[in-house]
Amino acid sequence: MKICAVICEYDPFHNGHKYLIERARELSGCDCVLCLMSGSFTQRGEAAILPKFVRAVHAVRGGADCVLQLPAAFSVAPAEIFARGAIGILKTIPAVKTLAFGSENADGGEIARAAVLADSLRAAEEFKDRLRAGESYKRSLAAAMQARGADGTIVNSPNGILATEYARAIKQSGADIEILPVLRIGGGYADGGLKDDFSSASAIRAHLSDPRIAGSLPGYVLKDLKNTDTAAAAARADAIVRYALNAAKKSDMARIFGCTEGLENKLKSLASLPVESIISEATNRRYTSSRIRRILTANALGLYADDALRYIAEGTYIKPLAVKKERKNELFAELARSPLPCVIKQSSLNGLANAAAQCLKSDARADFVRALTFGEAPEYDFTVKTI
């Protein structure tokens, strides 16, 4: 079997995601499309708008053959760790030969070259000088690449930085996986305006009550979104994050990815403010708002950098969320070829090493906090939805 993987969030699943799955299948010539999807929290540091099992079912109905869960330790992390954690799981599945992703640049060779250059530039003085001057990581890297005659715009977008980090993680880990960038259509990652049929996920989340979003979503997704109360969820999330910030030890906060140079002191001093005000007060040229939000969420979920790096080094698990009924047996046979344990029932816990067991506990914690945020009952986690 030849599998094409897609690393995703599907928050929510929309027409652009469906298009990517279709193109991935067509361009890769694969037998199956396997999605590795963030669970209850996303890389921007927010709870996913729908539960993970619901989103996984949407993906299978939208063309995927199987959806696995990306652990929270990697999904609520900077692009480098997001990519390393995901590739660390995918490379253990022998049938995964291709990784497809949406990109503004569809030249795989150019992305691979940018990844190599980005790796070497981390030690370059011009890159370090920009960081010291207060520039963000992404802007510093883009400027350093531009100074070397390379196309810095490749890394100067959420999709671009992830594309280069995927290529970098594949190379560093020795994974036998080819990258397959697929040219994005419709709204960009951060495009807040609604389109006729290919709006971005951020635009859809921002306009849930607008009937125009129907043009950008499969009907089954629209139906599940109709009862989502984002205002109430935002209020609950605010209370959870502020309580966790108030209760946190500074020494623990310093263990979070990106919480450097005493940033924990600044954030703790702002704990009495609403979350959006905390983010606004702490954001500057060096610390982007998305970085601050991710730090606050990682703190609330107890996600620490040293733990994530240990999970990458020691391995985690494969956790299927949803699978196409007619492909279940053959796909699960392929997943069983991975040295990582497959978590599909309570007894699966017996086969987990210490690091993997700790990682799974952090997933359960993230699921519980997301359920609190949306006023939902926590889902029974040891199951696989068959579609």
* 204-230 per-position pLDDT tens digit: 999 999 999 999 999 999 999 998 999
Residue 188 binned pLDDT confidence (cut-offs 50, 70, 90): low
Q: Where residue 158 falls among pLDDT bands split at 50, 70, 90?
A: low
pLDDT over 70 (residue 44): yes
Reported as a single tens digit per residue, the pLDDT across 311-351 is 999 999 999 999 999 999 999 999 999 999 999 999 989 88
Task: Report yes or no: 155 and 103 within 8 Å, Cβ to Cβ.
Answer: no
Q: Name residue, tokens 């960038």.
A: 181
Complete domains list, the chain, with CATH: 3-228+308-386 (3.40.50.620), 230-305 (no CATH)
- The span from the CA of 372 to the CA of 47, in Å, is 10
Question: Which range has the worst mean pLDDT, 76-90, 130-144, 215-229?
Answer: 130-144
Angle between helix 137-147 and helix 125-132 axes, rounded to 10 deg: 140
Q: Please count the CA atoms within 13 angstroms of the CA of 264 that sit on its side-chain side.
A: 19
Whose tokens are 């994005």? That residue is 184
Phi, psi of 353 (to 5 degrees): -70, 170
Q: Is the pLDDT of residue 189 over 60?
A: no
Per-residue confidence (pLDDT) for residue 184, from 0 to 100: 86
How far is C-alpha 120 from the chain's CA centre? 25
pLDDT of residue 72: 98
pLDDT over 70 at 187, yes or no: no
pTM here is: 0.94
Q: What mean pLDDT, rounded, does the chain reach? A: 93
End-to-end CA distance of the chain: 20
